[in-house]
Amino acid sequence: MTTSSAESESPFRARPALSDEVAVGLLCRGELDVLGRMPWSSNMTFLVDVHTPDAPIVQGVYKPVEGERPLWDFPAGLHKREIAAFELSRTLGWNLIPPTVNRDGPFGEGSVQLYVPTDYDEHYFTLREEPAHHPWFQRLCAFDFIINSTDRKGGHILLGDDGRLYAIDNGLAFHDEFKLRTVIWEWAGEPLPDDLVADVARLLEGGLPAAVVDLLSGAEQEALLTRAGTLIGRGRFPTDPSGRRHPWPLV
């Protein structure tokens, strides 16, 4: 089969089958080779090849602190929130976020997240039509309340070529003031599934993992645990009586 010039010059690679644990190891120790800027990003975001001598090349999305636009309501260092989201999802056993690590890269400290090959025509508003995805979306709905996601757009949800769903762009989260904005309101007011309640109760009993504690302020940690307790105390998915807790644009 012949390949077009555009396809042959694409910087994106097929991703080898990896467990999250293996991917974290590769992202932490591999050498980063910047291929170019990712489109449609408000902050500087780069596609990188991650080279290790004993493993296939994987690709990552590198977000250096130096490339962030200053925000009035979040301090610099949004990469820490990206990593905290992955670590909290992993602790809960919900597997929502691609493996994400802290790295010193070509443009300084930042996060590197495993790149998810995907069809960018798919997003929340297309993927929600498949009932098999609903349990995953319910976990993400609960998760976004707990982390206080302020910008859960439909385009931040990807269907990987491995068949898994992933939630990306989690830097605007974990604020100690309630700022929830999301597109996921389909289950508002409905009872939480028992397994989600049990997972959050286990988090509250065991406390936040050290990997999350090290990335958030004391006030942010306290607010996170308060939101988690409120969620399972009510036993229902969050509602939006104001009708204003949506991001813009929606996708």
pLDDT in tens, 18-55: 899 999 999 999 999 999 998 878 889 999 999 999 88
Segment (H or E) for 92: helix 78-92
In a domain, 248, yes or no: no
Q: Is residue 178 part of a domain?
A: yes
Residue 8 lies in a domain: no
Query: Taking residues 164-182, what's their average pLDDT?
Result: 97
**Assigned domain for 124 exists:** yes
User: Per-residue confidence at 170, pLDDT binned at 50, 70, 90?
Assistant: very high
Please write the tens of the pLDDT for every residue from 104-141: 999 999 999 999 999 999 999 999 999 999 999 999 99
Is pLDDT above 80 for 9? no
pLDDT at res. 25: 96
Note if the pTM is more than 0.75.
yes
Residue 91 lies in a domain: yes
Whole-number Cα distances in Å, 147 to 127, 137, 175, 176? 22, 15, 8, 10
The domain total for the chain is 1
91 — pLDDT class (breaks 50, 70, 90): very high
pLDDT exceeds cutoff 80 at 16: no
pLDDT at position 146 is 98
Kindly state whether residue 242 falls inside one of the protein's structural domains: no
What does the pLDDT read at residue 7?
41
Percentage of the chain modeled with pLDDT above 90:
88
Q: Is residue 90 part of a domain?
A: yes
- What does 22-63 look like in DSSP terms, one character per residue? HHHHHHHHSEEEEEEEPTT-SS--EEEEEEETTEEEEEEEEE
Q: Is residue 37 part of a domain?
A: yes
**Residue range of the domain that includes 119:** 16-234
